Amino acid sequence: MLENRKYIIIGVFCLVGLIYLSRLFYLQILDDSYSLESSNNSIKRVIEVPYRGQIYDRNSELIVYNTPVYDLYVTPRQVRIPDTTAFCQMMDLTRPEFDSIMQFAKDYSYVKPSLFMRQLSKEDFARIQDALVDYRGFEPRMSSMRTYPAHTMANALGYVSEIGKKKLENQEFPYYRQGDYIGHNGLEEQYEEELRGKRGVKFVMQNVRGVAKGSFKNGEYDTMAVAGKNLYTGIDVEVQKYADSLMQNRIGSVIAVEPSTGEILVSVSAPTYDPNLLSSRHFSKNYIKLIRDPYKPLINRPIMASYRPGSTFKLIQALIAQQQGSLFTNTFYGHSGSPMRCHCRGGNNLRGAVQNSCNPYFYNVFRKYIYHNNNPNTFKASAIGLHQWHDAVVKFGMGQKLGVDLPSELKGNLPDVETYDRIYRGENRWKFSNIYSLSIGEGELLVNPLKLVNLAATIANRGWYITPHYLKGFGRVGQGVPQQYLEKHQTDIDYKFYLPVIEGMRMAVVAGTVNKMADIPGIDLCGKTGTAQNSKFSHKYDHSIFIGFAPMNNPKIAIAVFVEYGGWGGSAAAPVAALIAERYLKRKTEATKLDEHVKKQRLMPPVSMLPGYKGPKVLPVKPRKADSIRKDTTRKVEKIKPLMAANR
Amino acid sequence: MSRNDPFSQNIDLLTVALYIGCVMMGWFNVYAAVYSPEAETSLFDLSTNAGKQLMWIGTTVILVICVLAIHHKFYDSFAYVFYGFMILMLLLVLVFGANINGSRSWFKFGGFQIQPAEFAKVATSLALAKFLDVPGMNINRRNNLLTIAGIIVLPALLIIASNETGSTLVFAAFVIMLYREGLPGWIPATGVALAMLFVLALVFPKLYIFFGLVACTGAFILLMPRYNRNPRTFMSMGVVIAGMMVFVTGVDFFVNNVLQRHQQNRIKVLVNPNIDPLGVGWNVTQAKIAIGSGRLQGKGFLEGTQTKFDFVPEQSTDFIFCTIGEEHGFLGSAVVIALFLGLLSRIVILAEKQRSKFTRVYGYCVAGILFFHFMVNIGMTIGLMPVIGIPLPFFSYGGSSLWSFSILLFIFLKLDSRRIGSMAWG
């Protein structure tokens, strides 16, 4: 019985064979659409690379466009070079360079064209065009090169270069091929898909000599290239360039947003480089130079640098404590009972504490906040208090990625109950006295400049923020902006609690911790200084921070300025912020004296002070130049040796 | 004694001749697939696939001699040992294997690579033959069926873990052997029916298929003898129809949520080849153009244009049939199909002659595996099957596959030679 099944099995085999034979008969004999016109013709796939989208600023000024260039391809089999030396001379190549390029091409294929030289400018090409007739096997192809007329914003823009091996292999959906360009870092990477457009493909029939004989199947399989979309950003190029000039001779960042929209107006990472360096054909040479630079110009500091927020964090403390009900506008604290010293005399109410950045005041505010619950056990009460504190601070975007439209944004750090349970190895083993440095923005807190400009914008808006972002539209302004860049994030702090804080910030600029010259008339700057400790160099080289917004009512711009090794916040950072706000609001600079002063400052630390420095140990010989401005406001900080003197 | 002399045994010469025919044709086509008129490489150039394939053929001859020289009882007695060793290898490759294109299925020794999944088929066939080679074995008993399923599924799971979906599907080929050994016919029939329904569900709107199913049921009831029309029959028919409808509805979910992106695309291209002519559809379109341009007689050896350069990817491995179709035309393709059908039928006929159940079961396993590869590989190049990366036995370039198929076949021929020998003896 079962033996007979062999007939069925053989029958199935033959049936499949028969189906395949008839299919082959159909493909090979009946249907001639799969056959080509002549058996010697073949189809060639011609790729059309679309223009990459251009990038504009908020006033439709061009930041990035494409310059047409020529790529030179070589087909080794066809190469005829009568005089190699002359050819090398013409191409500006050495003989070994020429040999290695040719070997590379031969290894790839004798009969398929390989890239010989990339991005010959129009002028270079014109020079060799006639001579190329004598050298067979070389073929120019049109291509384009990213060009940056404003020479600015290198880090935020990123750059366009050949796709790396890893990215090429890890494509989810194969699109890029060897040698294709792709955006790296910055906006070029973030919006790669929109900017690059879509490649087109044409199938062309050609005979054995490679002469085109028309399109294959009337172009049924062809796809049109789709040009990349133009990207409109919220950047104000004029102010951006001005900010660049202010940040010369400094390490740090400037970032400014429009509070009502969250659009980033200025984004400086200093030191920076000319983005044109990374788009020319000298890419690798320039790139290596930049990556070896000890000042690390390739780091986009506004989103990739981590600092302690320092005294700027007192603003959040003041807001959340009022909301909790443990702090009132007229709450008064003196200096006694606090382990921190202060530069201001006597005591303060809330406004005065913000104005003078009083450390003991905020020590008391935080203490009250943490113990603002009925638990008699101080350990348990601290845990409850810190938990509340964490939940309130998180609403300002701390300890998380804000979601700016750039890759590699840092999360920062916001400690919570678990953090300290881990540090002190168990629950209820720590209390307020272990964590009080949080009160003035030190301790385990870490932020990047972007988070602080967002804080400034939140206060400017009196209670909410829109995630900071560069995008203003694709193709035209307002088009294709995702929902996440339109919705408001509430801080759940009442409007009225912002008012005393803002008044304090205004006072800080008028008569507080900020350099008096920074109070430029007519812009109504409000701000808060901060100093992130850099104890390695005995506080002489702390990082200077300033955040603020202007004008006080109906603010148009919120700014955060970081100057590494800049000393305390009022000196190095605040004047920069004031000048940028003035330029943005008035479209001109009237505070020329301050402008000159800032541009004169030399705050670039010697290489030996940079983190990761491995050379011979050189102690900084002279401290920062004590200039006239500093004398105006400094109250000899150096003499006091307090626990945290630098926080102001 | 001459019994163990590999050259004076009663090896079935017809099979050997068909085998040699396949291997030689394969070698020439691998050469043609990588040949470029400008570079003018030799057939024996060790830097090309053709030269390397010759090396593989040489080592295969040595392997075949070894396989024939070993005593036939060895395969029987050590069947489970092979199987256990194979499982161990499949586990080890998951840990120590080289990562090639996201799949960990190759052992790498210097420039030499080997893929244990290819050999798993041989070991599994032997283990199945061993298990079924018991007097009075009824494969329809639940416990036996479960054991058989376990023997098949265990290596399949390990291979799927190393991301080689194609090689895993080959384990479905054992159904042919099981059918011969008494598996009820409705099981493979249901499998085929579901596969067809799967494709139909992708091609036609769901509603049409539901109507079609209902219409078929109606016709079936009308044709049914009156005495069979009782509530029980209707009930069971209702269950079957409902099951099919659920299956049809689930197809979309399966394709979109369970399969990986590239697998989804391969299935979508099968249904609609024009969906993405320059991306996923490229391979299939180019393969069809290459084969179609061969016409009746083909363009002649080494004269193909489409299978050179990048038109057809994987020209010398999975898409080797394109070179045959282009350069040797319909006639050449027909010869290849005839070669395979001849080989498959010959194996089945030899298997049926066996007195030892072990040899018969093993023979059917061999036939099933070869048939599955033949069906899927050629089917995908002519657009009748989704693109599944498995080689065409004896033709495709590659050491692991040539070795494993040769070992698979020659173990069977060795076992078969005992049949005539022992008859003459006893």
Contact B408, B125 (CB under 8 A): yes
Count CB neighbours of A250 within 10 A: 27
User: What is chain A's Cα-based Rg?
Assistant: 32
Using the structure block, give the residue that is written with the tokens 């940079």. Answer: A610
When scoring A7, A27, A33, A173 by the number of chain B Cβ atoms within 10 A, the one with the most, hence best to mutate, is: A27
Q: What is the pLDDT of residues B1-60, one digit of tens each?
A: 444 555 556 888 999 999 999 999 999 988 888 776 556 667 777 777 788 889 999 999
Cross-chain Cβ contact A35/B329 below 8 Å: no
DSSP state of A542: P
Residues of chain A found within 8 Å of residue B179, distances taken between Cβ atoms: 5, 8-9
Question: Mean pLDDT, to the nearest integer, of A626-639?
Answer: 36
Residues of chain B found within 8 Å of residue A35, distances taken between Cβ atoms: 292-293, 295
**Residue A174 pLDDT > 80, yes or no?**
no
% of chain A exceeding 90 in pLDDT? 39
Which among A35, A110, A221 has the least Cβ separation from residue B277?
A221
Residues of chain B found within 8 Å of residue A28, distances taken between Cβ atoms: 291-292, 294-296, 325, 329-330, 333
Which among B330, B351, B383 has the least Cβ separation from residue A28?
B330
Ranges A154-168, A452-466, A588-602, B381-395, most confident: A452-466
Cross-chain Cβ contact B291/A27 below 8 Å: yes
CA–CA separation, A137 and A130 (whole Å): 14
Give the pLDDT band of residue A166 (cuts 50, 70, 90). Answer: confident
Contact B116, B122 (CB under 8 A): no
Residue A235, both tokens = 């950047």
Whose CA is closest to A112, among B317, B36, B87, B172? B36
Which among B288, B341, B382 has the least Cβ separation from residue A13?
B341
Q: Does A9 touch chain B (CB under 8 A)?
A: yes
Contact A540, A624 (CB under 8 A): yes
3-class state of residue A223 by DSSP: strand
When scoring B139, B186, B295 by the number of chain A Cβ atoms within 10 A, the one with the most, hence best to mutate, is: B295
CA–CA separation, A396 and A445 (whole Å): 13
Using the structure block, give the residue that is written with the tokens 């540090």. Answer: A423
Cross-chain Cβ contact B349/A21 below 8 Å: no
Give the pLDDT band of residue A623 (cuts 50, 70, 90). Answer: very low
For A146, the enclosing helix (H) or strand (E) is strand A138-147
Residues of chain A found within 8 Å of residue B379, distances taken between Cβ atoms: 20
CA–CA separation, B173 and A558 (whole Å): 69
Cross-chain Cβ contact A39/B291 below 8 Å: no
Cross-chain Cβ contact A29/B296 below 8 Å: yes
Q: Angle at which helices A314-324 and A449-460 pack, to 10 degrees? A: 50
Number of H helices, E strands in chain B: 16, 3
Give the pLDDT band of residue A459 (cuts 50, 70, 90). Answer: very high
Residue B118, both tokens = 């290819």
Q: What is the pLDDT of residues A271-288, one digit of tens each?
A: 899 988 888 777 888 889
Which among A34, A173, A208 has the least Cβ separation from residue B289?
A34
Task: Give the per-residue pLDDT at B204.
Answer: 77
When scoring A21, A28, A31, A37 by the number of chain B Cβ atoms within 10 A, the one with the most, hence best to mutate, is: A28
Residues of chain A found within 8 Å of residue B306, distances taken between Cβ atoms: 42-43
Residue A281, both tokens = 């054909």
Residues of chain B found within 8 Å of residue A12, distances taken between Cβ atoms: 176
Residue of B nearest to A30 (CA): B295
Task: Give the per-residue pLDDT at A636.
Answer: 34
Residues of chain A found within 8 Å of residue B371, distances taken between Cβ atoms: 13, 16
Measure in Å the smallest separation between the Cα of A419 and chain B Cα atoms.
36
CA distances from A389 to A170, A375, A400, A411, B68 (A): 42, 16, 15, 18, 80
Contact A243, A252 (CB under 8 A): no
Number of H helices, E strands in chain A: 22, 18
Query: CB under 8 Å to B386, separation ≥6 — which residues?
Result: B266, B267, B269, B270, B380
Cross-chain Cβ contact B39/A3 below 8 Å: no
User: What is chain B's Cα-based Rg?
Assistant: 23
Give the pLDDT band of residue A540 (cuts 50, 70, 90). Answer: low
Q: What are the phi and psi torsion angles at A629 (to 5°)?
A: -60, -40
Residues of chain A found within 8 Å of residue B335, distances taken between Cβ atoms: none
When scoring B38, B274, B370, B377 by the number of chain A Cβ atoms within 10 A, the one with the most, hence best to mutate, is: B38
Residue of B nearest to A203 (CA): B278
3-class state of residue B318 by DSSP: coil
Q: Does A208 touch chain B (CB under 8 A)?
A: yes
Contact A317, A439 (CB under 8 A): yes
Cross-chain Cβ contact A28/B309 below 8 Å: no
Query: CB under 8 Å to B279, separation ≥6 — which residues?
Result: A173, A174, B265
Q: Which residues of chain B have pLDDT under 50?
A: 1-3, 422-426
Which among B277, B306, B382 has the least Cβ separation from residue A23?
B382
When scoring A9, A25, A29, A223 by the number of chain B Cβ atoms within 10 A, the one with the most, hence best to mutate, is: A9
CA–CA separation, A506 and A518 (whole Å): 12
CA distances from B62 to B56, B68, B268 (A): 10, 10, 43
Task: Give the per-residue pLDDT at A92.
Answer: 81
**CA quadruple A244, A245, A251, A253: dihedral sign:** negative
Measure in Å the smallest separation between the Cα of A74 and chain B Cα atoms.
16
Give the pLDDT band of residue A647 (cuts 50, 70, 90). Answer: very low
Ranges A66-80, A89-103, A235-249, B409-423, most confident: A235-249
Q: Higher model confidence: residue A609 or residue A647? A: A609
Cross-chain Cβ contact B285/A31 below 8 Å: no
Chain-centroid distance of CA A532 in Å reads 21
ipTM of the complex: 0.90
Contact A412, A306 (CB under 8 A): yes
Cross-chain Cβ contact B340/A17 below 8 Å: yes
Residues forming a β-bridge with A442: none
Cross-chain Cβ contact A24/B330 below 8 Å: yes
Q: Higher model confidence: residue A576 or residue B209? A: A576
CA–CA separation, B142 and B145 (whole Å): 5
Measure in Å the smallest separation between the Cα of A4 and chain B Cα atoms.
9
Residues of chain B found within 8 Å of residue A41, distances taken between Cβ atoms: 305
Measure in Å the smallest separation between the Cα of A26 and chain B Cα atoms.
9
Q: What is the pLDDT of residues A307-319, one digit of tens each?
A: 889 899 999 999 9
**Residue A56 pLDDT > 80, yes or no?**
yes
Task: Give the per-residue pLDDT at B420.
Answer: 62
Give the pLDDT band of residue A639 (cuts 50, 70, 90). Answer: very low
CA–CA separation, A53 and A196 (whole Å): 6
Whose CA is closest to A403, among A368, A451, A360, A334? A451
Q: Pick the range with the lowest mean pLDDT from A321-325, A464-468, A612-616.
A: A612-616
Q: Is A242 exposed, middle or buried (0-12, 13-18, 19+ CB in 10 A)?
A: buried
CA–CA separation, B101 and B194 (whole Å): 32
Query: CB under 8 Å to A139, separation ≥6 — which residues?
Result: A72, A73, A74, A75, A113
Q: Does A112 touch chain B (CB under 8 A)?
A: yes
